[in-house]
A and B are shown apart, each in its own frame.
Chain A
Amino acid sequence: MRVKKNCILPLLLLLFFMSESVLHAQSREGSAFDQSKFVPDIAFIIDVSGVARDMADQKYTSLTIPGFGFPFLNQPSSSGLNAHRGMNFNYGELSLYSVVDPYFDLFAVIGLAPEGAGLEEAYFTTRKLPYGFKVKIGKFLASFGRVNEQHEHYWDFANRPLIATALFGEEGLNEIGAQMTWVAPTPFFLVFGAEVLNGLNEQSFGNLGFSDLTGGVAINAVQGPNVYIGFVRSSFDLEDASILFGISNAMGTSRNDQGYSSGLGNAIDVNTDIVGGELTVKYSLDAIRFVSLQSEYMYRMMNGTEYTDDGASTMVVPARTLGKHHSGFYVQAAAMIDQLWEIGVRYDLLMQNEVSLGGVDQQMPSNLPRYSAMIEYSPTEFSRLRLQVDRDESRFVQVSGKLSRQPYTQIIVQANLTIGAHGAHAF
């Protein structure tokens, strides 16, 4: 959860709502202009965890998944969930929801951390468009596949599936833009959607322009929307099983610069095309118990040009063609075994990892797995404790230009609690 050093907005909001309700309580007559009944649904969620890991924090936060990131290596991230051994404050999440008027709904999620706050999502949706259409505008989690659109606390596991992290980073594909959906008037569920997004997600997209110091190379920044998403999802029931499946496609430009314009580093200008397939099956055994199976597959193709400035030569280093093919999937099974306990297992695999630069294969490691198992105890729907074990064999460190695999095992004890008016979750 990325945080920006701006905690003024949520604090002001909180103070506003609190002072309104205090005023309300003081006097009936004085409340002639009271608007406290219009306070939106407010909920606050915190997520904390204790982590035991057979690897020092310093090393863990320098781990990378080779090949997937810019230009080849994922940026080591220390801001992910459960990053440190011992206690982690993963996030606080303040959510606000209300009807705006008969025509719009508004929803906002503010991510809070000890260092500050950041606007995670804020968007409005239409309520009354005819013929099954709906428009959503603002900043939101893209509806690419299943897990990307969900907030962390809805997941069955304490961390994002590996392929989703590898393609979209720890924060997922979260962009400013617009979405339109159409629910077909069919007897079975069928929805079509399209999104137009700014596309700043560095892992797969980017709109930065760059130029060589000598002026030999000049690539303009992408103006306007940079990523286009289309998705279709459908569902049907077989007895007590609900089956939801769909495909998503995200296309855009990845234009990024790391030091190239200032004379030492790389830049890329590539076209990215990502295809995802999803399947969820939930089978009710009785009124309380159910088993669920969830899987997503993603394939990414990137084609374009890579630019290098080694900082030494005064000549422009010739641009090289850059081609990447990546794929991976996860499959997870979970079972609600009684009113309080849920168990689950997950298998993650990064399959293809092909990177070619100037027509030369970069020999990236492929078939990188992670294994996870969890057991969850939920005294009520507002509190949840989870024990998860991960064995991750997908991460590497780069030592003097050579990649070396760094498998690790971790145990996560996670607590997730919600107060206030929190909206119901979707399927």
Chain B
Amino acid sequence: MKILKIIPLVLLCIQTAFTGRLQVVATYGYIGDIVQHIGKDRVDLVVLARGDYNPHIIIPKPSFIAKMRRADLLVINGGQLEIGWLPQIIKQANNGAVQPGERGFLDLSMHVHLIDVPTSVSRELGDVHPEGNPHFFLDPDNIPAIAKAITERLSELDPENQIFYETNNKEFYGLWQQHMKVWEEKLKPLKGEKIVEYHKIFDYFLHRFGFVIAGTIEPLPGIPPTTKHIADIEKLIEREHVKLLFQDVYNPQDASSYLAKRLNIKLIVLPHDVGAVKEADDVFSVFNEIIRRITQ
């Protein structure tokens, strides 16, 4: 009887397709949330990836194609974070509006400064991104630039609502600056603290607030930890007096909890996107929750 359940859904979607609202597809939850803050009820938004999954490895579900087919605007993280799953979705959607290079295609990585741009690229070094570390969203200082890029593009595609989008962006910017002050205050005591993370996903956050990244549990980006590497990290943690271990929600925690128990240091699981943990339900609460978990 699943078919019967689909019928009202079909009617609903056909209805929204003719509302005239801009149809926006965002690859990740944080992008969707910023679009929502700017576009509010004047855009129809769909987010593709689940926030608690590995952003590099998303199953390219055919349902994404249907969503892409109807989109006026596709907003991606870029920096090759979506390279493993999104290109085929775009190709199969038969939608000229969201092809790379079109105005309906917005790559956010073009609007922020990427760190760790490799001088030479080799897959000997694991899953490296030639454009630099793509997890730039986790520097809260990048959020206003992202919101601005989204505001400009929404205004360009939907000029009738330009003032609406710009007003919302201003409001969002003010709110964001208030939060930034609070976050900076809370993290001040931890400046210079040495940490180890599982994957190089929290680098932007850690750089922004003055943490020192002593090492990663992955020997190379995207390569699961080996026994030898865990032993090396163990030595490093002791030598460098690391007290904090940061881990994302989607990778296995065996190696991290082993190290945490053995060396009696704190393992903290942090959200990396909206929806990664239930407390992180928008961009504000992602950072609130990261900081709450680190400081508690």
Q: Residues of A at under 8 Å CB distance from B?
A: 99, 102, 105, 125, 127-130, 132-134, 181-191, 233, 235-238, 242, 244, 282, 284, 286-288, 290, 338-340, 379-382, 419, 423-427
> Which segment of B91-99, B109-117, B257-265, B280-288 sits at the interface?
B91-99
Q: Residues of B at under 8 Å CB distance from A?
A: 2, 6, 9-10, 12-14, 17, 52-54, 57, 59-63, 65-66, 69-70, 83-88, 91-96, 99-101, 123, 126-127, 222-224, 249-252
Q: Which residues of chain B are near A125, meaning CB under 8 Å?
A: 91
> Which residue in A238, A287, A424 is a CB contact (below 8 Å) of B83?
A424
With A and B bound together, what is the CA distance between A187 and B83 in angstroms?
24
The minimal Cβ–Cβ distance linking A382 to chain B, given in whole angstroms, is 6
Asked if B94 and A181 sit within 8 Å, CB to CB, the answer is: yes
Q: Which residues of chain B are near A191, meaning CB under 8 Å?
A: 65, 92
The minimal Cβ–Cβ distance linking B210 to chain A, given in whole angstroms, is 30
In this complex, what residue of B is CB-closest to A420?
B123
The minimal Cβ–Cβ distance linking A407 to chain B, given in whole angstroms, is 37
> Which residue in B13, B59, B126 is a CB contact (below 8 Å) of A427?
B59
Asked if A183 and B92 sit within 8 Å, CB to CB, the answer is: yes
Please classify the interface of chain B as helix (H, G, I), strand (E, B), loop, or mixed, using the class held by over half of its residues.
Answer: loop
With A and B bound together, what is the CA distance between A244 and B63 in angstroms?
9
Asked if B17 and A185 sit within 8 Å, CB to CB, the answer is: yes
Asked if B54 and A244 sit within 8 Å, CB to CB, the answer is: no
Q: Which residues of chain A are near B224, meaning CB under 8 Å?
A: 339-340
Q: Which residues of chain A are near B9, meaning CB under 8 Å?
A: 187
Known contacts A127-B99, A380-B127, A424-B87, A185 near B62 by CB under 8 Å? no
Known contacts A287-B52, A340-B224, A380-B222, A183 near B96 by CB under 8 Å? no
Asked if A189 and B65 sit within 8 Å, CB to CB, the answer is: yes
- A sample of 6 inter-chain contacts (CB < 8 A) reads A183-B94, A187-B9, A242-B63, A282-B59, A288-B250, A425-B60
Q: Which residues of chain A are near B69, meaning CB under 8 Å?
A: 132, 183-185
Known contacts A381-B84, A426-B60, A186 near B123 by CB under 8 Å? no
Q: Which residues of chain A are near B86, meaning CB under 8 Å?
A: 424
Q: Which residues of chain B are near A132, meaning CB under 8 Å?
A: 69, 94-95
The minimal Cβ–Cβ distance linking B119 to chain A, given in whole angstroms, is 14
The minimal Cβ–Cβ distance linking B84 to chain A, given in whole angstroms, is 5
The minimal Cβ–Cβ distance linking A369 to chain B, given in whole angstroms, is 31
With A and B bound together, what is the CA distance between A286 and B248 in angstroms?
14
Q: Which residues of chain B are near A102, meaning CB under 8 Å?
A: 101
Asked if B63 and A288 sit within 8 Å, CB to CB, the answer is: no
The minimal Cβ–Cβ distance linking B273 to chain A, given in whole angstroms, is 12
Asked if B223 and A235 sit within 8 Å, CB to CB, the answer is: no
In this complex, what residue of B is CB-closest to A383?
B123
Q: Which residues of chain A are near B250, meaning CB under 8 Å?
A: 286-288
Asked if A188 and B252 sit within 8 Å, CB to CB, the answer is: no
Asked if B88 and A380 sit within 8 Å, CB to CB, the answer is: no
Known contacts A185-B70, A235-B63, A236-B6, A288 near B94 by CB under 8 Å? no
Asked if A183 and B66 sit within 8 Å, CB to CB, the answer is: yes
